[in-house]
Amino acid sequence: MPLFSDLHAYGQRIWLDNLTRGHLRDGRLAQLIAQGVTGITSNPTIFHKAVSETEDYAAQMAQLRKAEPDPERRYEALLREDIRAACELLEPAFVNSGGDDGYVSWEVAPRFAHDENMTVVEAKRLHGLVARDNLLIKVPGTEAGLRAFERLTAEGISVNVTLLFSLHHVARTFEAYMRGAQQWLERGGDPLRLKAVASLFLSRIDTLADKKLEALGTDQALALRGKTAVAVAKLAYQRYLDFFMGDEYFGYLRAHKVRPQYLLWASSGTKNPAYSDLLYVEPLIGSDTINTLPDKTLAALADHGETAPTVHLGVADAEADIVELESLGISPTAIGEELQAEGLRLFAESYDKLIAAM
């Protein structure tokens, strides 16, 4: 029986937040898939670490430096090999789920985060380079990125909307998906071709919220530390239910077999050692969700994780925590905007370092 079968029974899928050639070559990824991991995400930071800290890419890099003058195309050649190999390993999960699971993500270059047209162009190009149905193109949840996401969905391209940090970001993403899906249907597209996820980043929310709470220093403020991210996630799940499970918004699309856009819990490795190493896992288990975990958190879940459907519990407490946070002058929406800008900057820095290493 797969290691994560309990979570599957509750409707949650576990993805690995770490695609490396080492995992592909030594059988680690195949082993994790056998244990119940059903998808993979990555980003420039993860890939830069793999390239700079291992020899796994050295031989191919030497060949590419002779054959390919463009450093960015060298990077794409390296990553495409990993992406396609991972897609092949996950193809059984993709087929067995009817296209609902078994995906690998590839991110559009961060410099296009505020350029709608180039995001669309690059997303299509990367999709064509891999040529696998179980590829998700990662597009940031900026205003331009969401417009691009809507257009890509309208053309039947599956997307992982990334760098979401607030309820506002989540709602805007759901709306863009439904508009794009409607256009895809109107063009005669197969509804089962569509797949999209909305990646809500968690640990970074607490890192920034806690900093603001500690700056206030009152007992009331300090008592809220480590609660913001889970509260936002629980309320985001309620938004998911409002958008996709009722008839007001999604009824027509659901009747035509369009899939909902699942929430994906990202940045779910705990950064504060004072908190549980499963802070962003155990309270957020539930139907139609994905949690993408780094290796360390995945190992912690396998070792001592307690599994039960929990994402729908404590919603009133989550609402109260957000209200209390706002009463202290700390806006979760403003935190989300600040974190998205910071996330784009950090990804761009990692991407630039990666290209320089090519």
Active site residues: 138
Tell me the DSSP string of 234-277: HHHHHHHHHHHTSSTTTHHHHHTTPPP-EEEEES-S---TTS-T
Rg over alpha carbons for the chain, rounded to the nearest Å, is 20
**206 CB-near residues (< 8 Å, 6+ apart):** 225, 226, 227, 228, 229, 271, 272, 275
Distance between CA atoms of residues 31 and 256, nearest Å: 37
108 DSSP assignment: P
Host H or E run for residue 111? none
Give the number of other CB atoms < 10 A from CB of residue 3: 17
Beta pairing, strands 262-266 & 37-40: unpaired
Distance between CA atoms of residues 159 and 163, nearest Å: 13
Distance between CA atoms of residues 250 and 269, nearest Å: 32
CA 191 to chain centre: 22
Phi and psi based region of residue 153 (left: phi greater than 0; alpha: psi -120 to 50; beta: remaining): alpha
Phi and psi based region of residue 98 (left: phi greater than 0; alpha: psi -120 to 50; beta: remaining): left
Cβ atoms 58, 79 nearer than 8 A: no
- Name which of 329, 326, 313 is nearest 235 in CA terms: 313
Name the residue type at position 327: S
**63 CB-near residues (< 8 Å, 6+ apart):** none
- Name which of 151, 142, 197 is nearest 172 in CA terms: 142
